Structure 1
Amino acid sequence: MNIHTILFDLDGTLIDTNKLITESFYHTFSQFGLEFTHDEILAFNGPPLKETFEKIDLDKAEAMITTYRDHNLEHHDAYVKIFPNVKETLKKLKMHGIQIGIVTTKMRGTAIRGMKLTGIYDYFDTIIAIDDITNPKPHPEPVLSAMKNIQADPETTLMVGDNHHDIEAGQNAGVKTAGVAWSLKGEEFLRRYHPTYMLHDMKDLLEIIGV
């Protein structure tokens, strides 16, 4: 497969922040006297916080975002870890001249913190975070912005993610897509969005690009 650029979502794809995210939602809702089921909370994992909290309570959305972010940052380093074979794969991709970027719905500062904590920050050629764009995934803008930054061609670009927003953003930007089977929402859920590939291990990328 002729792939020269790979764009990655961050949370749930490269780094495991699932427990941190879930705990931050539980904490926030408890502070505001709200209760949601575990499945409902899983559904909040992926979209921008603003979108999630505004749907719940428009008036309190900003306060909820602040509560969530404070908790998330305070407990960040205790929870965040890298998924298996991520670092080794990124290293090999770079050795073979593949451009790699991050396209995330996180704030830039928090994204970089997670990347530095897990030792992957230096591998990336570009980072597009929520504060860099107007329209978050599934809108194509973040993917297109990342490609523009590194002069990537849609024909030879792959977008990798753990959520339907990632797959749809890639499709909307006209690039190939890959879901990750370790997604919290499950492989079957992601398959409904028809990604070009499904990764069962990050090393599967090396096979896709033929190294």
Structure 2
Amino acid sequence: MTINTILFDLDGTLINTNDLIIASFTHTLNHYYPGEYGRDDIVGFIGEPLYESFARMNKEGADDMVATYREHNIANHDLLVTEYEGVFQTIEILHKRGYKLGIVTTKMRNTVEMGLKLTKLDQFFDVVVTLDDVKNAKPHPEPLQQAMEKLGAKPEETMMVGDSQYDIKGGKNANVKTAAVVWTIKGKDFLAEFNPDYMLETMPDLLDIVGASVK
């Protein structure tokens, strides 16, 4: 069966928020644990909900750490966020060709909407599932299942595209095809360990995979 529905992670997949995320983690961790965490530690946190990352350090103080992170993140958002090359054109083609498109992210809705609006990608997505909308974040299948339900999509017709192990695991748990992006900050080899169905060297590669290339 052909793919007619594509779900995308946002950060690190469609938009480059790496500098923003690292800066916000660095700001927060240096405030609470000066000198204890470096860039490699921070990269390991990317892709999971903030609270889970901070709760492993200090469960009682995790809410305060999340608040500190988000304050910095929102204040610096538009200065540090950019769109990956080829993303806008690819999503625009998929939209024009009638594919059902959704965002499935572990971010809160306010910053998701900021990123989509900044890059003008907001016009293309019929469904956006954020951390606010679910009880269980990726890799639990709930966010993907919710997006598919809202889009009227079947798992066998759906693909999840992302930059972290949580996206690939979430896709497999929801019984959909998976595609990993090689520009992930986690590294191509790391994502390959989770056996995605496809590896995207560039976002336009997706058009060939789903049969949407312009002839």
Scaled by the length of structure 1, the TM-score of the pair is 0.98
Q: CA deviation at 1:187?
A: 0.8
Amino acid of the structure 2 residue aligned with 1:156: E
CA RMSD between the two structures: 0.8
Match of residue 21 from structure 1: 21
List structure 1 segments (4+ residues) > 2 angstroms apart after TM superposition. Answer: none
Most deviating of 74-83 and 24-33? 24-33
- For 2:5 and 2:100, how far apart are their aligned partners in 1? 5
Q: What's the counterpart of residue 77 of structure 2?
A: 76
- Cα deviation per residue 1:86-123 (whole Å; 9 max; x = unaligned)? 00000100111101000000001110110000110010
Q: Distance in 1 between matches of 2:159 and 2:24?
A: 31
Separation in 1 of the partners of 2:102 and 2:30?
36
Structure 2 Cα separation of the partners of residues 104 and 33 of structure 1: 27
Question: How many residues align structurally?
Answer: 211
User: SS at 2:128's partner residue?
Assistant: strand
Indicate the SS of the match to 2:159: strand
Q: Which amino acid aligns with 2:31?
A: Q
What is residue 100 of structure 1 aligned with on the other side?
Answer: 101
Structure 1, unaligned runs of 5 or more: none
CA deviation vs aligned residue, 1:26-78 (integer Å, no higher than 9, x gap)? 00011113421211111011110010011010111011000000000000000
Which amino acid counterpart does residue 11 of structure 1 have in structure 2?
A: D
Report which stretch shifted further, 6-15 or 55-64: 55-64
Identity of aligned pairs, percent?
Answer: 49
The secondary structure found in structure 1 opposite 2:179 is strand
Alignment-derived partner of residue 207 in structure 1: 208
What one-letter code is carried by the residue in structure 2 that aligns with 1:183?
Answer: T
Residue aligned with 1:114, SS: helix
1:63 equivalent to 2:64? Answer yes
Aligned partners of 1:110, 1:69: CA distance in 2, in Å?
9
Equivalent AA in structure 2 for residue 83 of structure 1: Y
User: Which whole-Å CA distance do the structure 2 matches of 1:33 and 1:170 have between them?
Assistant: 34
Aligned partner of 1:53 in structure 2 is 54
1:138 maps to a residue whose letter is: P
TM-score (norm 2): 0.97
- Secondary structure (helix, strand or coil) at the match of 1:7 reads strand
Q: Which residue of 2 aligns with 1:124?
A: 125
Give the Cα–Cα distance (whole angstroms) in 2 for the partners of residues 33 and 197 of structure 1.
Answer: 39
